[in-house]
């Protein structure tokens, strides 16, 4: 099996056009300007995966005022899926958010997205709620949560 040499690193503004293209590739929609707004508030919660300096995946997270971690978006370029890149990005953002002391991490996923639900379940996310008609096409969202570690600051 072909195993690409993957690097996970923090997003930088020069990655923007590649992230935008990847967003369109993965979701057929473009929320990339919103990601840039989030990046301005949470520059250390936006990561990209690269192979030979090409951006092949990204993950965007944030911490709410209630100290809840949110994973806002996760995507891998179609041709690079099934190589562990999605899991590596997810592990990275979980680590970053938990180090910030979040009580839990929450995300929404399409009810029909079995691949993503499998990935999240395998990383100890549990289905806690359902939001009907959450997506533009009427698909429901499954809300998933993972209990965070409590980091003590002395
Ligand atoms: C979800 C996504 C990020 C996964 O990325 P990936 O790099 O292919 O994932 P990985 O190779 O790390 O696989 C991780 C796990 O996902 C699940 N998975 C991956 N491919 C799968 C498939 N074809 N069928 C079922 N489950 C699958 C498995 O649980 C897998 O773990 P395993 O390899 O131990 O069995 C990718 O499919 C994607 O970008 N999808 C479109 C965007 C999207 O749906 N994002 C999530 C929004 S909430």
- Reported as a single tens digit per residue, the pLDDT across 10-29 is 999 999 999 999 999 999 88
Domains along the chain with CATH numbers: 1-102 (3.40.630.30), 106-147 (no CATH)
Element at 91 (helix H, strand E): helix 85-99
pLDDT of residue 139: 96
Please indicate whether residue 115, judged by its CB atom, sits closer than 6 Å to ligand 1: yes
Please indicate whether residue 7, judged by its CB atom, sits closer than 6 Å to ligand 1: no
Q: Indicate if 127 belongs to the active site.
A: no
pTM: 0.94
pLDDT of residue 154: 37
Check whether 75 has a pLDDT greater than 60: yes
Using CA positions, which residue lies closest to atom 10 of ligand 1?
84
pLDDT band at 65, cuts 50/70/90?
very high
Phi, psi at 103, each rounded to 5°: -80, -35
State pLDDT tens for residues 17-63. 999 999 999 998 888 898 999 999 999 999 999 999 999 999 999 99
Say if CB 120 and CB 109 are below 8 A apart.
yes
Average pLDDT over residues 141-147: 97
């Amino acid at each position: 099996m072909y195993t690409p040499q993957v690097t996970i690193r923090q997003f930088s503004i020069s990655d923007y056009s590649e992230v935008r293209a990847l967003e369109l590739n993965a979701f057929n929609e473009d929320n990339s300007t919103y990601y840039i707004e989030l990046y301005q508030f949470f520059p250390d919660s936006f990561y990209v995966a690269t192979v030979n300096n090409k951006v092949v995946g990204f993950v965007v997270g944030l911490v709410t005022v209630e100290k809840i971690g949110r994973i806002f978006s996760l995507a891998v370029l179609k041709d690079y899926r099934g190589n562990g890149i999605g899991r590596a990005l997810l592990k990275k953002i979980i680590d970053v958010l938990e180090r910030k002391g979040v009580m839990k991490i929450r995300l929404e996923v399409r009810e029909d997205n079995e691949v993503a639900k499998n990935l999240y379940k395998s990383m100890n996310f549990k289905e806690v709620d359902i939001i009907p008609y959450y997506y533009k096409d009427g698909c429901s969202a499954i809300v998933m949560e993972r209990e965070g570690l409590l980091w003590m600051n002395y």
